[in-house]
Amino acid sequence: MKIALVGATGMVGGVVLEVIKERKLYFDELYLVASENSVGKKINFLNKTYTIISLKQAVEIAPNIAIFSAGSSTSLEWAPLFAKAGTTVIDNSSAWRMDETKKLIIPEINGSLLDSNDRIIANPNCSTIQMLMVLSPIHKKYGIKRVVVSTYQSITGTGMKALKQLENEYEGVKGEMAYNFPIHQNAIPHCDDFLENGYTKEEMKLSNETHKILDSTIKVSATAVRVPVIGGHSESINITLNNSFEIIDIVKLLSNFPGLCIKNDSFNLEYPMPLFSKGKDEVFVGRIRKDYSEKNSLNLWVVADNLRKGAATNAVQIAEYLIENKLIS
């Protein structure tokens, strides 16, 4: 079993290595891959020193699985070359998500769609993953008519440059800016590029990916906000269902869904926060309550570490599924 990690020196790549270690993902050989600027650098992992190799070298090795965390342009250029060599690619970028010929996978929801013919598998957007982990069991039982979601997204979703900007601003140091405005003591209603319809790409991902993974009839309206937080993304989700429900049944339903952790005791101040989601794989759900302004509607507060379940963990879970079900060559 040969596994390659493309983008091994990046923020998500580092977390992928942590998740591989923690979940004991099976491999005989591991290849750490990055851009030409990083080729030759050393990374210590599991008591072994690995030397960074180039994408060209990795393609020639033809690993069984390649986890890509290197951005859309790299994925668009190199994923097909790996696939042609017989490698199954699990891609963390947005490059292949809406490609009709590629599957968009959250293992707990639609992992069963995978088969041995899949050569490029797309990992959904981080904010989509945590939202659909909650929506999926609810939709299956009650049917979802409409979703209004506001996200409060960690700067780690932007990368190391944003983390450095926050650190500089906190310390009063002038430096390179990842955002158009200061992020310290601020909230910026702008994640990704704006589109002609007035929404950002991030906001439209929540709608488009929900339609591809869950149900094309669900109406989704999203607002995405960047906040000076490191531990994960938070989402305020309002859901209108097709059928009536009781909150106690919603809580029980979510409690039994794999990968969810319920923190729903507001009177004892128990609710999800990014402060406590950092470094964890679970999607945390709380503030579960009826929306009395609209029939068959409820509100939830959902938090998850965007670098873990929102990216690295979901990708590694896909790799686990492929290996366990013998879907790779």
Amino acid 26: pLDDT = 94
What burial class does residue 45 get, using C-beta atoms within 10 Å of its C-beta: 0-12 exposed, 13-18 middle, 19+ buried? Answer: middle
Provide the token pair at 96: 């292949």
Active site residues: 126, 233
pLDDT, one tens digit per residue, over 107-128 is: 999 999 999 999 999 999 999 9
Q: Look at the block and give the residue holding tokens 């091994």.
A: 8
pLDDT, one tens digit per residue, over 27-73 is: 999 999 999 999 999 999 999 999 999 999 999 999 999 999 999 99
pTM across the whole model: 0.96
Domains of the chain: 2-124+311-324 (3.40.50.720), 127-306 (3.30.360.10)
Give the C-alpha separation, 177 to 182, whole Å. Answer: 8
Amino acid 34: pLDDT = 96
pLDDT, one tens digit per residue, over 186-215 is: 999 999 999 999 999 999 999 999 999 999
Between 102 and 328, residue with greater pLDDT? 102
Q: Return mean pLDDT, the chain.
A: 97
Amino acid 329: pLDDT = 76
Contacts of residue 323, Cβ cutoff 8 Å, sequence gap at least 6: 1, 25, 26, 65
- In this predicted structure, the answer to whether residue 88 has a pLDDT above a threshold of 90 is yes
